[in-house]
Chain A
Amino acid sequence: MSAPLLDVQAVDAGYGHVGVLRGVSLQVEKGAIVALVGANGAGKSTLLKTISGVLRPTAGRIVFDGAEISGLAPHRIVDAGLMHVAEGRRLFRSQSVRDNLELGLYGGRLDAAAEARRYEFVYELFPMLRERPDHRAGVLSGGQQQMLAIAQALMREPRLLMLDEPSLGLAPVIVDQVIGAIERLRAEGVTILLVEQMVDRALDIADRAYVFQNGVVIGHGAPADIRGGDLIRRAYLGAAG
């Protein structure tokens, strides 16, 4: 088997003196959708923030495409091809849809023609963005904001897209659209690390899944095995492992 695109090796991380993650190891293979599930407060968002460089690991290594990225500044990690769509669709609310997309290109080295193709790509994926280029991001609906947040993260052609609870607070029909877009992205060759509270929806599209509890990986495997075993019940009911 070839080396994984993302390789998290025995990482500890947290906030100041508060440790959250303990010895977390996780691999994401090129072209896969890997799901990360676990109860609220398990440390899923903390792991994504550590991978994207907002937090620094206090132990362990993070390797992306063969190069160590742990300890790099977040913009260097973005340059390496890794994009993180944070929890709660953190858009630039007072700027327009088009400006938010343009900000997704910031720091990239695409020429004008390549940039135009990126706009076209995200407009194909989320046609509603094409219809409202001048709307301020803050006035969009929750689902539209989520689509804009994903589109913004796609502007620089990331090789790995990390999505933190993209379905949070969305109507079921909108969740379907977002899940559909994630599957289309995989078909386009984008690798995806997906954190989701809707465990079944995540397992439906994932190639592999990790289960988190209290800052520790308590198991991983194929979605069918995760569904069949009692890991999920343990992770969500908090029974001691």
Chain B
Amino acid sequence: MDPDLIVNGVVAGSLYALVAMGFNILYRPTNVFNFAQGDLVMLGAMICASAMALWSLPWFVGAALALAAVGLLGLIEERIAVAPVLRRSASGHAWVITTLSFSMIIANLVGRIWGPDPIAVRPPPPLTTETFELFGANVSSYQIALVAATIALAAGVESFYRTRAGKAVMAVAEDREAALLRGIAPESLSRWSFLFGGAIAALAGVLAAPLLYASIGLGPSLLLKGFATAAVGGIGSNRGALIAGYVIGLVEALAAVVLSPGYQMAATFAVMLIVLLIRPHGLFGHPEARSV
């Protein structure tokens, strides 16, 4: 197999894993699958790109702005589109409509404000997207940093779930009423999770921008890939998201070469179907936890 293919697969897979982790973080205490996640990712990329291009701010300032703004937007989404419907029925599915509406609103506003043109984003120095040869493959320092950052983030998020607060989030995921009776306040955990889930979405967008450009087209495609990754990995599992991201990224890269680039999406969803047929809860999902 062409070593470049492995590089491309692992890099794309890392991005998908980042998007899936954002999904997972806000799914856990709410059992809500956020349909606006792709738009939050896209908005993160747009804010960072604009801060750098228009105001010539350094990368890390643009990234921090994007994380803060999108985290806040996640919190707003939780307050207006999620908390009210969960208060009415914690097990209902009205959030499908409300988070989808929120997604449409963001996509529409971003389209109005920024227009359709993609914005190029430079990686933070000393990283570059210039490739060099490593073990026969062409890689850039930015790609290596991206893959490493994703692994570090997955490890960080997983270690949070081993703290008492993290166990409380898992408890809410498993049995909301039992958690209430133990003094756990699901509303507060759900607010924090949307804040962090939003910030991670922005981070995914910020990290994707130097490779894919920042554009409104980023939202829908990353929503679908991120969804497939979360489902294959087992919804809620961040270790699963990382592995599933690599699997889907590699299958896609392979499909693009062996078949043609037009078959990438089909390959992604074929992987998803096959995995879910064999393991309905995904590679690392717990059958005991509630599922969508």
Chain A: residues with CB nearer than 8 A to chain B? 52-54, 73-75, 78-79, 83-86, 90-95, 99, 102-108, 138, 152-153, 156
Chain B: residues with CB nearer than 8 A to chain A? 164, 167-168, 170-171, 174-175, 177-185, 286, 288-289
Give the contacting residue for A74; candidates B164, B171, B180; CB below 8 A: B180
Would you give 7 A-B contacts (Cβ < 8 Å), ordered by A? A74-B181, A74-B185, A75-B183, A78-B182, A106-B182, A138-B288, A156-B183
Query: A90 to B182, alpha carbons, bound, how many Å?
Result: 10
B185 touches A75 (CB 8 A): yes
Instruction: Please name all residues of chain A whose beta carbon is closer than 8 Å to the beta carbon of B178 when the two chains form the complex.
Output: 86, 90-92
Query: A73 to B188, alpha carbons, bound, how many Å?
Result: 12
Give the contacting residue for A103; candidates B168, B177, B180; CB below 8 A: B168
Within the complex, the shortest CB–CB distance from A162 to chain B, in Å, comes to: 10
Instruction: Please name all residues of chain B whose beta carbon is closer than 8 Å to the beta carbon of A93 when the two chains form the complex.
Output: 174, 288
- The 6 lowest CB-CB distance pairs between A and B, nearest first, are A78-B183, A90-B178, A107-B183, A94-B288, A74-B180, A75-B183
Asked, given contacts A79-B183, A92-B175, whether A103 binds B288 with beta carbons under 8 Å apart, the answer is: no
A78 touches B174 (CB 8 A): no
Residue of B nearest to A48 (CB): B181
Contacts beyond the supplied A94-B170, A94-B289, A106-B164: 8 A-B pairs with Cβ under 8 Å: A53-B180, A83-B181, A85-B181, A90-B178, A92-B170, A102-B167, A103-B167, A153-B182
B185 touches A73 (CB 8 A): yes
Asked, given contacts A93-B288, A138-B288, whether A74 binds B183 with beta carbons under 8 Å apart, the answer is: yes
Within the complex, the shortest CB–CB distance from B134 to chain A, in Å, comes to: 41
Residue of A nearest to B288 (CB): A94
A92 touches B171 (CB 8 A): yes
Query: A28 to B168, alpha carbons, bound, how many Å?
Result: 31
Instruction: Please name all residues of chain B whose beta carbon is closer than 8 Å to the beta carbon of A108 when the two chains form the complex.
Output: 183
**Which residue among B167, B174, B183 has the maximum number of chain A CB atoms within 10 Å of its CB?**
B183
A54 touches B177 (CB 8 A): yes
Instruction: Please name all residues of chain B whose beta carbon is closer than 8 Å to the beta carbon of A107 when the two chains form the complex.
Output: 183-185
Give the contacting residue for B286; candidates A73, A90, A94; CB below 8 A: A94
Query: A79 to B168, alpha carbons, bound, how many Å?
Result: 16
Query: A79 to B181, alpha carbons, bound, how many Å?
Result: 11
A95 touches B167 (CB 8 A): yes
Instruction: Please name all residues of chain B whose beta carbon is closer than 8 Å to the beta carbon of A86 when the two chains form the complex.
Output: 177-178, 181
B171 touches A54 (CB 8 A): no
Instruction: Please name all residues of chain A whose beta carbon is closer than 8 Å to the beta carbon of B171 when the two chains form the complex.
Output: 92, 95, 103, 106
Query: A54 to B164, alpha carbons, bound, how many Å?
Result: 23
Query: A52 to B174, alpha carbons, bound, how many Å?
Result: 20
Instruction: Please name all residues of chain A whose beta carbon is closer than 8 Å to the beta carbon of B288 when the two chains form the complex.
Output: 93-94, 138
Residue of B nearest to A138 (CB): B288
Residue of A nearest to B163 (CB): A102
